[in-house]
């Protein structure tokens, strides 16, 4: 923290412990006991990083004018904070930290990340390209964010949806200095899928279009079979029959699974369960 160029401007610092099993909370308690500018929020269990960000923002939002969220691994360039504050003073209520390149990522992650952002844009989901959770927000944004009560919160899509004047600050993301990421490939895929299904019905619409195409194809096959029958020509064997049946059955299972995904999200929302539970706070 002492390395931050705007150390005095961005105090206090708030840490959210999202159900970790190491010494994270113990360390937060130690540093908060000697510095009242260190705030801490401990969640009762792991709720996911989107809910953890919300917990920290909502708990302290009445105490400050603006907030900056940043991942604890500090791969995001903290010198960009100074530029964020400049944009904020110029009137921007949201300032997005945007990576100017992904050279610190592996080839696989670069390809998958770019595909994710392009897919979100294709589906009409408002999202800032190459932006994660490094951003500055005015308290007005948090007030409006409180009106969004869904459990499956996808902040990268919701915050641009709120509107108001926004700006971007570009920075270079560093390689991880220590530790290992807890965000596996499976978690990244699930996060992307949650973002898509929380914001767009395009996948269901795509299934509808594909279903119409299948019906047209089926009509063509029926016409071909009828033509062959009346003109005394039949194709021996079951291959021509079995393969389409397997294809259509597989497609039906995918369609049912997709519908089930959306029904499941509705079920999660109507239960009205809290997005997080705070076990303990420090200096706040």
For the chain, the structural domain boundaries read: 7-180+274-282, 202-271
Which is more confident, 248 or 22? 22
* Residue 1 pLDDT > 50: no
Place of tokens 């194709």: 235
Q: What percent of the chain has pLDDT over 70?
A: 85
Strand (E) positions, 44-151? 66-69, 94-99, 131-138
Split at pLDDT 50, 70, 90, the class of 154 is: confident
CB atoms within 10 A of CB 113: 18
Q: What is the mean pLDDT of residues 67-81?
A: 84
What band does 236 get if pLDDT is binned at 50, 70 and 90? low
- Say how far apart CA 226 and CA 210 lie, in whole Å: 24
pTM above threshold 0.95 = no
Choose the weakest-confidence range: 71-80, 93-102, 221-230: 221-230
123-146 pLDDT, tens digit per residue, is: 777 788 888 889 999 999 999 988
Domain 7-180+274-282 has CATH 3.90.550: yes
120 φ/ψ sector (left φ>0, alpha ψ -120 to 50, else beta): alpha
Contact (Cβ atoms closer than 8 angstroms) between residue 32 and residue 283? yes
Task: Tell me the backbone φ, ψ of residue 99, rounded to 5 degrees.
Answer: -70, 130
Q: What is the pLDDT of residues 179-217, one digit of tens each?
A: 566 666 777 777 777 777 777 777 777 777 777 777 777
Q: For the chain, give percent helix, strand, coil, nearest 5.
A: 50, 15, 35
pLDDT at 241: 67
Q: Please report how many Cα atoms fall inside a 13 Å half-sphere around the Cα of residue 260, on the Cβ side.
A: 6
Indicate the pLDDT class of residue 90, thresholds 50, 70 and 90.
very high
Q: Does residue 16 sit in helix, strand or coil?
A: strand
Compute the average pLDDT of residues 79-84: 88
Which span out of 145-149, 202-206, 241-245, 246-250 was modeled with the highest average pLDDT? 145-149
């Amino acid at each position: 923290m002492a390395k931050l160029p705007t150390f005095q401007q961005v105090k206090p610092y708030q840490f959210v412990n999202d159900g970790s099993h190491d010494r994270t909370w113990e360390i937060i308690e130690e540093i908060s006991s000697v510095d009242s500018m260190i705030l801490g929020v401990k969640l009762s269990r792991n709720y996911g990083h989107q809910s953890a960000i919300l917990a920290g923002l909502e708990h302290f939002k009445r105490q400050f004018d603006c907030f900056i969220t940043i991942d604890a691994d500090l791969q995001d360039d903290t010198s960009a904070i100074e530029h964020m504050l400049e944009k904020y003073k110029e009137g921007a209520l949201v300032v997005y930290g945007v990576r100017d390149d992904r050279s610190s990522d592996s080839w696989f992650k670069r390809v998958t990340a770019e595909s994710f952002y392009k897919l979100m844009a294709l589906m009409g989901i408002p999202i800032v390209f190459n932006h994660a959770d490094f951003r500055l927000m005015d308290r007005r944004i948090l007030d409006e964010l409180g009106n969004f009560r869904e459990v499956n919160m996808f902040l990268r899509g919701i915050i641009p949806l709120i509107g108001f004047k926004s700006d971007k600050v570009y920075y270079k993301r560093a390689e991880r200095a220590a530790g290992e990421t807890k965000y596996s490939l499976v978690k990244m895929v699930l996060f992307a899928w949650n973002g898509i299904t929380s914001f767009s019905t395009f996948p269901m619409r795509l299934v509808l279009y594909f279903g119409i195409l299948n019906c047209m194809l089926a009509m063509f096959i029926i016409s071909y079979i009828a033509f062959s029958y009346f003109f005394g020509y039949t194709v021996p064997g079951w291959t021509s029959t079995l393969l389409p049946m397997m294809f259509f059955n597989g497609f039906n299972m995918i369609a049912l699974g997709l519908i089930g995904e959306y029904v499941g999200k509705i079920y999660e929302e109507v239960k009205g369960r809290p997005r997080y539970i705070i076990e303990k706070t420090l200096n706040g």
